[in-house]
Chains A and B, each alone.
Chain A
Amino acid sequence: GSTLVIAAHNNERLFPITFNAIGAAQKIGGDVTCLVLGKGCGKVAEETSKIAGVKKILVADDNVFHGFLPEKVAPAVVAAQEQFNFTHIVAGGDAFGKGVIPRVGALLNTQPISDVTEIQSEDTFVRPIYAGNAIMTVRSLEKIKLMTIRPTCFEGAAPSGGSAETDKAPAGKSEGGDVSQFIEQKLTKSDRPELAGAKIVISGGRGMKNGENFKMLYDLADQMGAAVGASRAAVDAGFVPNDMQIGQTGKIVAPELYIAVGISGAIQHLAGMKDSKTIVAINKDPDAPIFQVADFGLVEDLFKVVPELTKLVTKK
């Protein structure tokens, strides 16, 4: 077998999810090739070539990849597939991978598998359905296995120790012309770690009452080196932006420590955090479902507890 991994990056550095995707590719077995498409992505190509276990990298540094538009990326993936006949094509299940893999599937007349959490064999994969309330084991009947992987379920490949050969990626046929155009990105700026990779995540729910009160969580997070997330209820109520949402329709996290503050524990929220190693729940309602998954539950008013906790972890 041979697997192509589509690198997710910002032309400056690889996104951590790419290391998880390479880790998943190594579990499939066979040679791993990485496709690096970008505009001014020389640094990323170099970074990718050093990853342990990557045999070859295919690089296309071209203006057409400005903004990583799926209309341009997908045909390039297809061109690489036509030249090298990979048995598997893997991308991380982030906004980029979710945008590209199904489009590649349509172009190759192949049904992809989303959000793979376990690789059982070269054609059999495990993935969650119904917001993680059921786990499906599925065998792909396709010649090419196309998939996105859930990053928290695969250990990342080591960033050094490899020396991949570099080749030019074949150009894709872009029939549509310039049907889409990248305008801009507005990324939330923060000194805190990213939600996806943070060792500690602190999340607020509807119990926070408003957006201003999230400052309490930011203060606590700064003392603990934690990232801050939110439940869908808090996002729906307009307290915080959607990119903070943890849950089935938001981000899936699995940190070492997850602290749920004022979160009741709706099914869709649990789907996004129940693989965390240790879960703490702070909620004044003793019957909140979040306590059913928490290792440590504290039935108390969060407005009293959070400042106390901040003080205690600061003293240390």
Chain B
Amino acid sequence: MSLRVLVGVKRVIDYAVKVRVRPDHKWVVTDGVKHSMNPFDEIAVEEAVRLKEKKVVAEIVAVSCGPPQAQETLRTALAMGADKAIHVEVPAKEAETLAPLHVANILAKIIQEEKIDLVILGKQAIDDDSNQTGQMVAGLLNWPQATFASEIVQDGDGLKVTREIDGGLEVVQVKLPAVVTTDLRLNQPRYATLPNIMKAKKKPIDKKTPADLGVDITPRQEIISVDEPPTRQAGAKVADVADLVQKLKEAGRI
């Protein structure tokens, strides 16, 4: 097989950062905050690179929608092993209301232009936690979807995908072209090596806008407010197990 693969990579606030709500209560503070590639997207890039190493995949195209800094995320994808990148530039302000359906429409257009056979996306981005884009791309293109993948195996002219579901695992067979979204246990993403980071600087990044692709990014929803979650008061330390059991009985929990 020599598939052309598209991976989506989103630049998000680093998973280890404690996010704070912006004073105007319309979003969270992003200025001066460390950003990284969405962890589930790292898994998607890694899986594409492994499939290329197994000669199932011929070329990997990384795509990111977002502000100019999204290029850093694309460079990371290129350093991990993607062959080329497309940056769909969306100014920071508009990126705040960019919804999964907008992104799915953008990706669907690129997928057709680039004659993509397989799309691998993270199951969700850890900023807005929507968990929608992959399913939407599949819906727009009428392609099969295999979400929450923990194993992808080439099987005949399609893929056999093991999925993480409530209560265990499920195996589905999908014909190509298809959309797969990644779950945690699919793989352990590699770190980009210095020589590969250097090489990535020479790989091409195409720049486009949603308008170039004919995609309207008018907001689909209005953010009324973004607030801190209610804080939970820490309770007391207990002396020992007997004390704990006593307290739980008093609270009526056991």
A residues apposed to B, CB below 8 Å: 15, 67, 69-71, 74, 94-96, 98-107, 109-115, 124, 128-142, 175-176, 178-188, 194, 196, 200, 224, 232, 235-236, 241-243, 245, 248-249, 251, 256-257, 267-268, 274, 277-280, 291-300, 305, 308-309, 312-313, 316
Contacts and interface: CB of A to CB of B under 8 A. Distances in A.
Interface stretch (B3-11, B56-64, B82-90, B222-230): B222-230
Interface of B: 13, 15, 18-19, 21, 28, 99-101, 104, 124, 126-140, 142-148, 150, 160, 163-175, 178, 183-185, 219-229, 232, 234-238, 240-242, 244-245, 247-248, 251, 253-254
Given A95-B166, A180-B174, A103 B136 contact: yes
Nearest to A241: B168
- Ranked 5 nearest A-B pairs via Cβ: A106-B139, A295-B235, A102-B135, A111-B220, A102-B132
A175 B101 contact: no
Contacts of B131: 98, 102, 114-115
Contacts of A114: 129-132
A139 B222 contact: yes
A69 B254 CA distance: 41
Nearest to A290: B234
Question: Among A74, A106, A182, A232, which residue has the most Cβ atoms of chain B within 10 A?
Answer: A106
Contact of B237 (A98, A137, A179, A298): A298
Given A130-B129, A299-B237, A111 B99 contact: yes
A47 B75 CA distance: 54
B167 to A, nearest CB: 5
Given A132-B229, A297-B236, A280 B165 contact: no
Nearest to B165: A95
A180 B139 CA distance: 13
A105 B184 contact: no
Contact of B175 (A180, A257, A297): A180
A178 B253 CA distance: 50
B126 A188 contact: no
Contacts of A180: 144-146, 172-175, 178
16 contacts: A70-B138, A128-B229, A129-B129, A129-B226, A130-B28, A138-B221, A140-B221, A142-B221, A179-B142, A180-B172, A183-B170, A296-B238, A298-B237, A312-B242, A312-B245, A316-B254
A134 B19 CA distance: 8
Contacts of A71: 138, 144-145
Given A111-B101, A267-B18, A296-B248, A308 B175 contact: no
Given A103-B139, A129-B128, A235-B184, A134 B234 contact: no
Nearest to B138: A103
B131 to A, nearest CB: 5
A187 B163 CA distance: 11
A130 B100 contact: no
A182 B172 contact: yes
A66 B91 CA distance: 44
Contacts of A245: 184
B132 A95 contact: no
A304 to B, nearest CB: 9
B224 A243 contact: no
B223 A136 contact: yes
B166 A94 contact: yes
Contacts of A200: 253-254
Nearest to A276: B232
A293 B166 contact: no
A309 B229 contact: no
A256 B253 CA distance: 7
B101 A106 contact: yes
A133 B245 CA distance: 31
Given A184-B171, A186-B169, A296-B247, A70 B145 contact: yes
B235 A296 contact: yes
Contacts of B140: 106
Given A98-B147, A296-B235, A138 B139 contact: no
B139 A179 contact: no
A176 B143 contact: yes
